[in-house]
Every structure is written in C-alpha cells, then in structure tokens.
Structure 1
Amino acid sequence: MHKSDIETLIAYNFWADNEILTACEQISVEEFTRPVTPNPGWHSLRGTLVHLLDTEYGWCAALQNLPDAGVLREEDFPDVASLRTRWQQEEAAWLTFIAEMDDAALNAIWREEGTIQRTRWQTILHVINDGTYHRSEAAAMLTGYGCSPGELDFEGYLVWQGM
C-alpha cells in the first residue's frame, strides 16, 4: 500500500464523518440522544457516533503505541457540537500520524498475536471500513428523522474532490 492511497482513504473517512455530523445538526438534541428501535447496538444516534469516534481514536493510539485514555463515553457529548469538536481533534491526530509515515512504515507488521500479523495499512483499512458500517447505521437513523446525509460512498467523495 502506498502512503498517498492511505491519505486519500483517510481524507474520505473524515469527509464522510463530517457529512454525518452536518446532517445531525438538522435534528434536535432529543432525536440525537433518544434510544432507537431497532437498536443497532449503540442505543442511539449519539451512541453510534461516539462508538465510531472511539474506534478511530483507539486505533490511532494503538497504531502509535500511545496510552489509551479509555473508552469515550456517550454522556460526555451532550450535543452534536461537542462531538464535532472532539472529532476535529481526532482528525488532526490522524493527519499528523499519517504525515510521519512512509510506505515502508505502512507496510510493516506492527501487531502480532500468535499466527496473526497485521500491517499498519491493514489496520487503517479496518478503521475506515468500520466507519463505513457505522455511518450507514447513522445514515439510516438520520433518514428516519427526515435528514438523510445523502450519498456517503467513496465515489461521492471523489466527485466532491473534483477527481
């Protein structure tokens, strides 16, 4: 995997996150925080997004062997603005991390557990794919509230970029 490919995928990931957050700004705090049915596993739109942010945070820290401050808690984000602020910090952390990478570092094995080995790029791709999954859940909830975030696929990002 090449650094430029990972940079593009990470930019896509944060673009899509931002599209979800922008759609969330159109709903009430009550809708943002209320339990949803069927429950996708994180109780609410806020819960789903906090889980998504926590995944991005946790893996970024793990990839750099940084201490992890623990799981982000839903109640620490009373509204979309507080979540967006924390997400901007995470985006900056990822961009700084990737800027310091080269192709060799991305392709190097960074994690071994028994016979399982993972390169950095494989783990980053996992984070991006997990984000796609949970953003889809969030998009379905938002659509139910009448605030669809629109197309969030990679092609949409490339068109948005003028590529």
Structure 2
Amino acid sequence: MNYLEEMVHYHVWASQIIMQRIQELPASVLHQEVNSSFPTLAHALSHMNAVDQMWYLVLTGTSMPEALQICMPRNEETFATIEEYFERYAELSNQYLTWFSQQTDLEQLLLLDNPFAGVRQTRFAEIILHLVNHGTYHRGNISTMLRQLGHASVMNDYSRFWYENSNTSE
C-alpha cells in the first residue's frame, strides 16, 4: 500500500472513530445546537460527506463545477441518526478504495476548474492530501463541538491510527 492510500485509510478510520464516539452518546446530541463552525454535529458530518463525495467525483472525471452542483446541496441535508452517517461513509469509503485499486499513477495531472479559486493543474495525489486534511480539520471541529455540548471527544490522530493499524504500511 502506498502512503496516499494509507492516508485515505486513516481518513476513513478517523471518521469512523469520531462517529463511534457520537454513537455512544444520547441520540439527541447529533442534532443538539451549538455555537460553533456548524450548528450541529449532523451538519458537520453532512459537510464532510458532501465534500468527500465532491472530490470523489472530481477524481473520477467530473468537472469541479459539476461536482459542486451535485454535492453541495447535500451539505445542508442532515440525517436523523448516526447510523445513517455510518452507511453513507461506508459506501463512499468503498468507492474510494475501489478507485485506489485501479490507479497506476497518482501523479497524473488534471485541470481543476475551482469556481472559488480559479483554474490550475493539480495531481490526484494533491487532491487526496487535501481530502484527508479537510477531514482532519472538521474532525477537530467536531471534537470542539462535543466538548461544548459537555462530552469528551476521542483521540483520532494519525499516530493512534499507526498503532491500531500497524500492519497497513508493511
């Protein structure tokens, strides 16, 4: 397994860890309002999922403007239960892992037409690193939101992933 694929495995694992923590709490926590980056934990999870879907579409050949048009409405769609988020993440994770199994050149260039930043050449590898970094940032938001709601979060650092998945980089 290459390091970029390992980073996607980390991203999947860390998202599952944070959702498992939410699952341990009263179901109402998912939709409890908090004064933070997102109004609820559900909104944060929906945003992460929508952006992950958008980047998957870009990696598989959809233009970024079209991928945004498809996925950004999902940004505001929240699900009633944490189990529904687990299902969405599992489906998308499987799509990413299948995509990885078919890649021979992660340095492949593509023209990215970002409506917010402009047009630039980028590599698949850069998109993957951004995807993981974006997820890490928002899992941090979720950890802060959990604390604001009176609950502890859970460690989901890359270093914990190393120890729990020590055979992934061999």
TM-score (norm. length: structure 1): 0.86
SS in 2 for 1:116: strand
More displaced stretch, 12-21 vs 24-33 = 24-33
SS in 1 for 2:84: helix
Structure 2 equivalent of residue 70 of structure 1 = 71
Per-residue CA shift, 1:21-53, capped at 9, x if unaligned? 10010222322112211x21x211110111011
Gaps of 5+ in 2: none
Structure 2 equivalent of residue 131 of structure 1 = 135
Per-residue CA shift, 1:99-143, capped at 9, x if unaligned? 1011x2x10111245762110000110010000000001112223
Give the whole-Å Cα distance in 2 for the aligned partners of 1:117 and 1:75: 31
SS in 2 for 1:121: helix
The aligned amino acid for 1:110 is L
Greater than 6 Å deviation, 4+ residue runs: none
Give the whole-Å Cα distance in 1 for the aligned partners of 2:139 and 2:124: 22
Gaps of 5+ in 1: none
Identity %, equivalent residues: 21
Structure 1 equivalent of residue 87 of structure 2 = 85
Contact 1:23–1:142 (Cα < 8 Å) also in 2? no
Alignment of 1:23-102 (within 5 A): 23-37=21-35, 39-40=36-37, 42-66=38-62, 68=67, 69-71=70-72, 72-102=74-104
Cα RMSD after superposing both structures: 2.0
Give the whole-Å Cα distance in 2 for the aligned partners of 1:33 and 1:115: 37
Instruction: Count residues with an aligned counterpart.
Output: 157
SS in 2 for 1:111: strand
1:10 aligns with 2:29: no
Give the whole-Å Cα distance in 1 for the aligned partners of 2:45 and 2:24: 15
Give the whole-Å Cα distance in 2 for the aligned partners of 1:56 and 1:70: 9
Give the whole-Å Cα distance in 1 for the aligned partners of 2:100 and 2:142: 27
TM-score (norm. length: structure 2): 0.83
Give the whole-Å Cα distance in 2 for the aligned partners of 1:4 and 1:34: 39
1:162 aligns with 2:166: yes
Contact 1:45–1:138 (Cα < 8 Å) also in 2? yes
Give the whole-Å Cα distance in 2 for the aligned partners of 1:130 and 1:87: 15
Give the whole-Å Cα distance in 1 for the aligned partners of 2:96 and 2:119: 28
Give the whole-Å Cα distance in 1 for the aligned partners of 2:71 and 2:154: 32
